[in-house]
Structure 1
Amino acid sequence: MTIFILFAGFFFLVLIGLPIALALGISSWLTITFASNVNTSTIIQKAFDSLDSFPLLAIPFFILAGVLMSNGGISERLLDLANVLVGYLVGGLAMVTIVASMFFAAISGSGPATVAAVGSFMIPEMKKQNYGQGFAAAITASAGSIGVLIPPSIPFVMYGVVAQVSIGSMFIAGILPGLVVGLALMAIAYGISKKNDYVGVGEIPSFMDVLRSLNRAKLALLVPVIILGGIYGGFFSATESAAVAAVYAWLISTFVYKELDAKQLYQSFAQAALTNSVTVIIIGFSISFAYLMTLERIPVIIGEFISGLSDSPIIIFLVINLFLLVVGMFIDTISALVILTPILLPVVTDLGMDPVHFGVILVLNLAIGFVTPPLGVNLFVATGVGKVSFERISKAMIPILIVMFISLLIVTYVPPLSTYLPSFMEN
């Protein structure tokens, strides 16, 4: 009865359109009230206790850094660099969108933020060059999903906290898988562009053109170098690196690029605060939900069920991926990380999978959830920015999703893509 009320209540509330955070909190309250002897104040207590965490301070600072960089002229310089590097290729503007998203991912750590920052420039530009509206929005939404793989990554921070894994190792682990997904998206973008005669823009750049663009964007490109170099150089922790990134973003946007005045700075802080407030509520109620699951031994039950499906790790990993893909269609990334990590991590570690490798797989699955209906946060951001119907962008996503699924399988069954760089850095 407890399990039924918890999950049935949650999914019912989500289906009627209640925000995920409230659905988690209300379903937890219903379960405690009607099927448990736990005090109802436990929901609030667990929510507040979960936020009393030093590593979680990284999340608001990374959000602030991304907003400051976006409002401070960084995205324009990254787009210019991407345009010089790949704009002349077949489907040049689509290629620029993907490469620019990979650059911006190294700043914002957020998928939706990447879509908004890059899409506001690139979707209108692709429309002007007669790219299909659905394709323009779809490639932008899918490229934005790379934002949670290439460091810094807010979901990696959350996973590191829940799984008690080094956040610095998670940051490093996401680099190669992020490149795999980016190259896969470029391949499908090239194929679709070739079929539809989406030509490149401009000429093949000279060496000096590349140097000039690199020079303009060098301060933005230094962000991941400062973050990762500082962590592995022992100068600051992963949490402190987020604060360093925010201060650095403010300094270069205000005093170097001079595109961030006092009014824009206030708006940036307000925007970051609103974004973080939603994240904090989701984290708090997700912890309460996960606490009730633990009391009822739900993680153990689900883990035993999955383990009993097959003796083959290959089959188990495939089942877990399919399960995560479905979850990503309905539940936001933070909630899914908090709820599913305690359930699935013991299963995969018993089968010999490195926790860092599993963290990358988990986040990549949920990143694909950014571009799969009905939740599809990136899709909604792209439709809003590009003024494209949800039906049109969903149809254009089909071949792109196939390529992303293939990338997921590669990352799952080729562990060194996730584990080599962390082991190299630790040694």
Structure 2
Amino acid sequence: MTATVLFLSLVVLLILNVPVGIAIGLSCVVTILSFGTLSELYVAQTLVSATDSFPIMAIPLFILAGDLMGAGGVSRRILGVASAFFGRFTGGLAIVTVVVCMFFAAVSGSGPATVAAVGSMVVPTMLEAGYSKSFVLALVAAAGSIGVIIPPSIPMVLYGVSTGTSISNMFLGGVLPGLLIGLVLITYAYFYSRKMGWKGDDTPFDGRKTLCLVWEAKWALLNPVIILGGIYAGIFTPTEAAAVAAVYAFVCGVFIHRELSPRDIFKTIAGSCATTGTVMVILGCASTFARILTIEQIPVAIADFMLQFSSSPAVLLLVILVMLLLVGCVMDTTPAILVLSPILYPVATSMGIDPVHFGIVMVVSLAIGFITPPLGINLFVASRIGNASLGTVIKGIVPFVIVMILTLLVIAYVPQLSLVLLSVFN
């Protein structure tokens, strides 16, 4: 009965269009008042205790670092370098878009931020070059989803905090799956551009100009090297790395690139605070939700039920994948991870699935939700950037969803993709 009231009240509140974080918190309050097994103060206490964590400090700092990088000219410099190396291939601008999104993912850790930063630059250029609007906007939306897969990744931090899995190992496990998804998107973009006759830049390669572009972008290119290199060299923790990233982004934008004015700084910080506030409310309420589930031993009951449903790890993993893909259609990545990871984690570990591998599978599955209606936040961001209807974006997104789901199956059933770097570095 507790689980029924908890989930039913949550579904009703979401249908009523109550904000996700508030809906989760209210469903907890309704459950507590209905059964009286916990104090009414429990929700408020958990809101404080759940966010009072050193690893969680990485979330607002990575959000701030990504926003400062986007406003400080980093994405424009990365675009220049990518165009110099890949712009001459068939579908060169499409390939460049994916490459820039992959690199910016190692800066922002956010899917929508990647779409906004990269899309605002490449969309007008690609449309002028003759690419169809539906393809361009769908490509940017799909490539932007890599922002939460290639480290640093905010959803990976949340998964690590929720399950006790090493965040450093999660970052390391996400490298090859993120690169694989990027390679798959590049391959599709190349063959589709070849079919449509979209050629690359015919300007002769200029080595000196390319070196100048690389030199101009050196501080942007060094960012992921410093952040990820510092983590795996043992110089700082992921949380400390987030602080370093924020300071580095500020120094680059203000003193090196000189593209961040005082007004821009305050505007960027205000935007980051708004995003952080939303995430923290969801985090606190979802932690209360998860603790009520744990107290009532609901995750154990679900694990036992799923294990009785089938004894095959492959079948159960497929069931979990379908569930995550459906959840990703209607719920944002942050609350989905915070609510589902305490439930599905025991199921995965009981099947012998490595916690890091399962975390990567979970993040990738929910990342596809960025480009699947009706929620599909990347679709909305892309349509706003391209000044197009949502239907235009959805028309072009279907092939990208298919290839990403096929890639997800490879990542899920070939765990070595997520674990090989762990065995090398550990």
Cα separation, 2, equivalents of 1:222 and 1:352: 38
Instruction: Measure, in 2, the Cα distance between the counterparts of 1:210 and 1:317.
Output: 46
Cα deviation digits, residues 280-333 of structure 1 (max 9, x gap)? 111111111112222222211221222222222111111111111111111211
Match of residue 343 from structure 1: 343
* CA shift for structure 1 position 89: 1.8
* CA positional deviation for 1:415: 1.1
Per the alignment, residue 83 of structure 1 pairs with 83
Equivalent residue, structure 2, for 1:300? 300
1:316 aligned residue: 316
1:279 maps to 2:282? no
Aligned partners of 2:299 and 2:346 also within 8 Å: no
The residue number in structure 2 matching 1:14 is 14
Tell me how far apart the structure 2 counterparts of residues 177 and 409 of structure 1 sit (CA, whole Å).
11
Q: What do the CA deviations read for 1:164-218 (whole angstroms, capped 9, x no partner)? A: 1221111111111001000111112122222222222343634444433322222
- Name the residue aligned to 2:238: 238
Structure 2 distance, partners of 1:35, 1:374, is 34
Residue in 2 aligned with 1:425? 425
For residues 127 and 359 of structure 2, the distance between their equivalents in structure 1, rounded to whole angstroms, comes to 37
Aligned-residue RMSD, C-alpha: 1.4
Give the equivalent residue in structure 1 for 2:193.
193
Contact 1:2 1:36 in 2 (8 A): no
Task: Show CA shifts across 1:404-424 (max 9, x none).
Answer: 011101111111111111221
Q: Distance in 2 between matches of 1:247 and 1:388?
A: 36
Q: 1:173 touches 1:418 (CA, 8 Å); kept in 2?
A: yes
Moved more, 16-25 or 189-198: 189-198
Count of aligned positions: 426
Aligned counterparts of 2:264 and 2:239: Cα–Cα separation in 1: 25
Q: Is structure 2 residue 392 aligned with structure 1 residue 392?
A: yes
- Name 1:173's counterpart in structure 2: 173
Q: Give, as a single letter, the amino acid of the residue that structure 1 aligns with 2:345.
A: L
TM-aligned CA deviation for residue 362 of structure 1? 0.6
* TM-score calculated relative to the size of structure 2: 0.97
Q: Distance in 2 between matches of 1:36 and 1:119?
A: 50
CA–CA distance in 2 between the matches of 1:369 and 1:131?
25
Query: Which portions of structure 1, spanning 4 or more consecutive aligned residues, are displaced by more than 4 angstroms?
Result: none
Deviation at 1:15, TM superposition (A): 2.0
Q: Distance in 1 between matches of 2:177 and 2:215?
A: 27
Residue 251 of structure 1: aligned partner? 251
CA displacement 1:344-384 (0-9 Å, x = unmatched): 12222222221111111110001001111111111111111
User: 1: CA distance between counterparts of 2:324 and 2:301?
Assistant: 17
1:132: which partner in 2? 132
Separation in structure 2 between the aligned mates of residue 387 and residue 179 of structure 1, nearest angstrom: 30
By how many angstroms is 1:401 displaced?
0.6
Structure 2, unmatched stretches of 5+, are none
For residue 368 of structure 1, what is the aligned residue in structure 2? 368
Matched residues in 1 for 2:115 and 2:306: separation? 35
Cα distance in 1 for partners of 2:365, 2:72 equals 31
1:142-181 C-alpha deviation (Å, 9 max, x unpaired):
1011001111111111111112122111111111100100
Counterpart-to-counterpart distance in 2, 1:18 and 1:32: 19
Segment of structure 1 superposing worse, 36-45 or 242-251? 36-45
Classify 1:336/1:423 alpha carbon distance in 2 versus 1 (closer, same or farther; 3 Å).
same
Moved more, 136-145 or 263-272: 263-272
Q: Which moved more, 1:397-406 or 1:220-229?
A: 220-229
Q: Which amino acid aligns with 1:152?
A: P
Aligned to 2:328: 328
Using the TM superposition, name which of 108-117 and 21-30 deviates more. Answer: 21-30
**1:112-153, CA deviations, whole angstroms, 9 ceiling, x for partnerless residues?**
100000011112222222222111111101101100111111
Percent of aligned positions with the same letter in both sequences? 47
Whether contact under 8 Å (1:168, 1:228) holds in the other structure is: no
Secondary structure of the corresponding residue to residue 308 of structure 1: helix
Quote the residue 1:146 is aligned against. 146
